[in-house]
Amino acid sequence: MKLGNLIASAAAIGLVSGMLAAATTPAVAAEKKVTFRTGSTFPLRLVQLGTLGVSFAKKVQLISGGSIRIRLYEPKALAPPLEYFDAIAKGSIDAAWSTPGYWYGKEKALAMFAAVPFGPEAGEYAAWIYYGGGHKLMDDIYAKHGIKSLICGVIAPEASGWFRKEIKSVEDLKGLKMRFFGLGAKVMQKMGVSTQLLAGGDIYPALERGTIDATEFSMPAIDLKLGFYQIAKHYYFPGWHQQSTLFEFMMNKKKWDGLSKTQQAQITVACGDNFREGLAEGEAIQVAALKELRAKGVTIHRWPPEMLAKLEAAWNEVAKEEAASDANFAKVWASYAAFRAGYKTWKDVGYLK
């Protein structure tokens, strides 16, 4: 191509680029700046549980070009963590980084969108949430309370508990006081355990003082950071109550509705990438954590089949009772159970046993 033609082509490209910039810049500039004062139910430096929230906030700010700022606060800075639901519904705070299982006391069915005992691994869970109607059901429940929530992360299987003494039978569980989360707490109650829900930062002091005898919280890499091994040396697997755990960005619905469609999409996309990050990171960091825990004198146990069978039987009882006592739970449970039954036809042929 001759020099003159090159110059003409470059000029044309420059003209088109300028026109595109002129067309798009005002739209970007028109996006109003929004800040979400966001309480976290987890310490922000805590592996995955907190750091995924921090990562999400950074992604949103970058993707939105700075038009959306998620200002995260440590637990208790804005309100007690287990009171975020009411605070967001009233508009006292804008949002929270949390998990739906904390709101069982407000809506039993929300626990189904956090972790389900003897439930699915992350792939199957995501399939139901995103393509099986799960997220729509969750959306409808929150909307009644003036809240909008997006699934915004997932982590790999958790452990099922830290105990001071070895648990050899169901009899050894009876009478224990234990911190337990979500629907799994109902199962443990049928085993004779007295359960209570404590926020992450309150568990170690309760264990140290003897207010509780045992606890479950999360996976090895996370539990290691919280130091439970200093008090309880018996660590049990698998996490039958949380084979995968979902996290959320929950917002005051009026605040969400006031965003532009572009801003709503930016938050949604960031949540989707956080789902990917949570699963991949969670699977990658457990080996080193288990090795370190063993070096600190922790004994790793795996529940025998007969114990798991008793726990699963208790869970089946709990599920029936919850569905019978709450219409929303019954609706969500019917959707979840139907999806799992159908999915099993694929799982049985598509995956290695």
Superfamily of domain 161-241+299-326: Periplasmic binding protein-like II (3.40.190.10)
Confidence at residue 201, expressed as pLDDT on a 0 to 100 scale: 83
Across the range 88-103, mean pLDDT stands at 97
Read off the pLDDT band of 20 (50, 70, 90).
Answer: very low
Across the range 128-138, mean pLDDT stands at 98
Read off the pLDDT band of 3 (50, 70, 90).
Answer: very low
Q: Where are the alpha helices (DSSP H) in the chain?
A: 3-30, 51-63, 84-90, 122-131, 134-143, 183-190, 200-209, 220-226, 253-257, 261-284, 286-295, 305-325, 327-350
Q: Considering the chain, what percentage of its residues have pLDDT values greater than 70? A: 92
Confidence at residue 200, expressed as pLDDT on a 0 to 100 scale: 82
Q: What is the pLDDT of residues 208-225, one digit of tens each?
A: 999 999 999 999 999 999
| SS3 category, 218 | coil
Asked whether residue 16 carries a pLDDT value surpassing 60, the answer given is no
Torsion angle, CA of 15/20/21/27, rounded to 10 degrees? 160
Rounded distance between C-alpha atoms, residue 166 and residue 295, angstroms: 18
Q: Higher confidence at residue 84 or residue 7? A: 84
Residue with tokens 């005898």: 213
Rounded distance between C-alpha atoms, residue 324 and residue 322, angstroms: 5
Q: What is the pLDDT of residues 219-244, one digit of tens each?
A: 999 999 999 999 999 999 999 999 99
Confidence at residue 341, expressed as pLDDT on a 0 to 100 scale: 97
Confidence at residue 199, expressed as pLDDT on a 0 to 100 scale: 83
Asked whether residue 2 carries a pLDDT value surpassing 70, the answer given is no
Across the range 137-149, mean pLDDT stands at 98
Rounded distance between C-alpha atoms, residue 286 and residue 23, angstroms: 49
Asked whether residue 28 carries a pLDDT value surpassing 80, the answer given is no
Q: Model's pTM, two decimal places?
A: 0.87
Confidence at residue 241, expressed as pLDDT on a 0 to 100 scale: 96
Angle between helices 327-350 and 122-131 (to 10 degrees): 120
Lowest mean pLDDT: which of 9-23, 27-41, 255-269, 329-343? 9-23
Across the range 67-82, mean pLDDT stands at 96
Structure tokens at 156: 């790999």
CATH class of 31-157+243-284: alpha beta
pLDDT averaged over every residue in the chain: 92
Sheet with 34-40, strands from edge to edge, namely 68-73, 34-40, 95-98, 245-252, 147-155
Q: Considering the chain, what percentage of its residues have pLDDT values greater than 90? A: 88
Q: What is the pLDDT of residues 52-68, one digit of tens each?
A: 999 999 999 999 999 99
Rounded distance between C-alpha atoms, residue 264 and residue 267, angstroms: 5
Note whether 31-157+243-284 and 161-241+299-326 share their fold. Answer: yes
Confidence at residue 21, expressed as pLDDT on a 0 to 100 scale: 45
Asked whether residue 10 carries a pLDDT value surpassing 90, the answer given is no
Say if CB 248 and CB 152 are below 8 A apart: yes
Confidence at residue 30, expressed as pLDDT on a 0 to 100 scale: 67
Sorted by where each begins, the domain ranges of the chain are 31-157+243-284, 161-241+299-326
Give which of 219, 217, 155 is closest to 185, Cα–Cα.
217
